[in-house]
Amino acid sequence: MLEIYIDADACPVKDEVMKVAGRHALVVHLVSNRWMRMPESTLLHKVVVEAGPDVADNWIAEHIGPGDVVVTADIPLASRCVKRGARVIDPTGKCLDEASIGMAVAMRDLMTGLRETGAVTSRNAAFTPKDRSRFLSSLETMLQAIRRQ
């Protein structure tokens, strides 16, 4: 059964996921290193893992299945999930799949190297209302495509 997993610690679109999941009656796993306040729902499964690097990522990667959806901006986690047959969408609405994950990993590694050498000092752009809107549209489109299969 299709379920949605949120890498929740830094996710700015948790409410949007719940809104779309509610329309489709999908279970959402909100995975984080700390308890988060969210409206109660029978569709929401809050998972609080112990603190530590990649603990939430490991939980998601171990539990996600083929056809499930993960919401994350974490490229290594996205890569692990794609390898398990899951669909991945980042908070700006960009979908990552087998065809695009290799380039995303390469770009992440390149930018990490450039930041380490000091050639690039900036981080990610600010999250905008346009990003939120694109995310909602992309998630809805993704879920409808999955349902048609």
pLDDT at 105 over 70: no
pLDDT at 135 (0 to 100): 97
Half-sphere exposure in the Cβ direction for 113 (13 Å, CA): 6
What order do you get walking across the sheet with 69-71 strand by strand?
44-48, 27-32, 3-7, 69-71, 87-89, 95-96
pLDDT in tens, 117-140: 777 666 667 889 999 999 999 999
pLDDT at 106 over 80: no
pLDDT at 98 over 80: no
pLDDT at 34 (0 to 100): 93
pLDDT at 79 over 70: yes
Please compute the mean of the pLDDT values over residues 26-41 and round it to a whole number: 94
Q: Which CATH number belongs to the domain containing residue 26 in this structure?
A: 3.40.50
First and final C-alpha spacing in the chain: 13
pLDDT at 108 (0 to 100): 60
Q: Which of 6-10, 30-34, 38-42, 103-107 has the lowest mean pLDDT?
A: 103-107
> pTM to 2 decimals?
0.86
Let me know how many helices (H) and strands (E) the chain has, helices first: 5, 6
Domain range for 59 = 3-148
Number of domains in the chain: 1
Q: If pLDDT is split at 50, 70 and 90, which confidence band does 69 have?
A: very high
